[in-house]
Structure 1
Amino acid sequence: MSLPENYTLTILGAGVMGSAVLSAILKSKPSPFPSHIYCCTGSSKSADRLQSTYGDAISTSYGTNNAEAVRKADVIILGCKPFLCQAVIDSVKDALNDKQIVISLLAGWTIDQLSSAMGNPNIARVMTNTPAKYGCGTAIVSFAPVLQGSESVAVRDAVMALVDTVGMALELPEKNMDAATSLVGSGPAFVLLMMQALAEGGVRMGIPYEVAKKCAAKVMEGTAKMVQESGEHPEALKSMVCTPGGTTIGGLMVLEDKGVRGAISRSVEEAADIAAKLGKK
């Protein structure tokens, strides 16, 4: 199984996540690159906004016109809200076929549920996050059984090339997807809360907010880069920052006293439990 050389990509639900992935694809131009990209939205206002933003790089549609864009698709990125998924699929049902490759960005919807709803076994389930819009996102990809054989290598490679444009794409079994939904999908909100807290601590001690915000963001960016490039365990790197009787160990003891480590880990657990429930109908 392979994609046509000049394949057509349709983004069915070009909202926050759909447009984030669109932006990443247009910036990175992966190979193979789609010959035409259609973006389907729910209203003329959102379609006009997309067209104004991306110009001739895309074509847009909305409402009943979405069916034609889906009919032309070789690859469909399903980017609508999970609770709207069934209604969106029903609205374009007659335009779907079992040869199309479907890349789902929906939290909660399993490969089996999507395959049944769309009448198509060729499903790649993806969880990514909003930093994808800036090319520094993370994505976890799970493939349907029919796409896991050696005859589907070209399709998997094409899907991974599209998804990797968000920043980094990794493949995991579908059983890990609820956890990935929490860690990858919800993770940016958890990190932003921590960033806000760092900045506000700086403000509390007299640093102007704009300066504190920039410092907090750069501290988090630099620390993440240090972990990625050193390959060291975060605990080892953390110990390197601490000096006997110093400021860092004092601050860390307060965080441990307040249970911050456990609270962050439990937030990932809670979000994963909610993700699992989203797919139950």
Structure 2
Amino acid sequence: MDIALCQNPNHDSQRLKYICVDPNCNVAKRIGCADCFLDDHITHIRKTTAQFKEQVSQSIDTISQVEFSKANSSPQKDLDCQIDFELENCIENIKSRFLAIKNDLKSQIDSDMLKVQDNCSQFKQNMNNELNPFKLTIENELPSLNQYELNQLVKFYQEAPKIHKHYSKASELLQDEKSKVKQKKQKHLNKMKSIIQVLLKEFNDLMTTKNVQIDDCSEYETPQKYTMSPNKMINLVETARSTRRFPMSQSQKKYFLSAVTKKLD
């Protein structure tokens, strides 16, 4: 049996020469001979089998020539470079700001500590100036001292507790000043830690999946918070499947939804 010939006994074994391409055709058999088309496709759009094969082949070739950009294409590389640049610039700005804060704090601490050290040196110098003459005098034999020197030693002996209290009090005050500088430093450090914690929290909030801001390709419009739900992803996939000419079955949707949900989690 020649499959290229019409099997209708009334059509004289004519060749199957035509294909019905009419979008409104409801006839099950789309290929037929001239008599078939007179009977069932008289007003329909038709093509000869040769024309049909040629045009389908051309369509296949045309569609096959559609190119998809690779991830390593030039625009993608440019975007990667821009992302790297912006990220590095952001990091440098943050680093620069914290270095400025650190230098300012260090300058304040150094200035305060310098004042404390100056006061400490001054008190030490005053104490040495007051004690050194008595150190030299007391090394001599007492009978060899003149009346003035002996009187000065006696006076020092009488006032020694008072002098000791004076310099002990000064030492305590200097220690308090050192403690205040240390507390001031700790206070600023705690403040910097708090700032860093706030920045990290804001960063984490912005970078969570549900809060990622996506620009809609318009630099003049405010970016909106965008979330692609699993159902939207299914719709996107279905749209890509030749404009829903081959839609997903319910079982395919269920399987895809499960996979997407698991991926998002």
What band does the TM-score fall into relative to the shorter chain? Answer: under 0.3
Superposition TM-score, scaled by structure 2 size:
0.17
Q: Which has the higher contact order (CA 8 A, sep 6+)?
A: 1
Q: Which has the larger radius of gyration?
A: 2
Superposition TM-score, scaled by structure 1 size:
0.17
Q: Which has the higher strand share?
A: 1
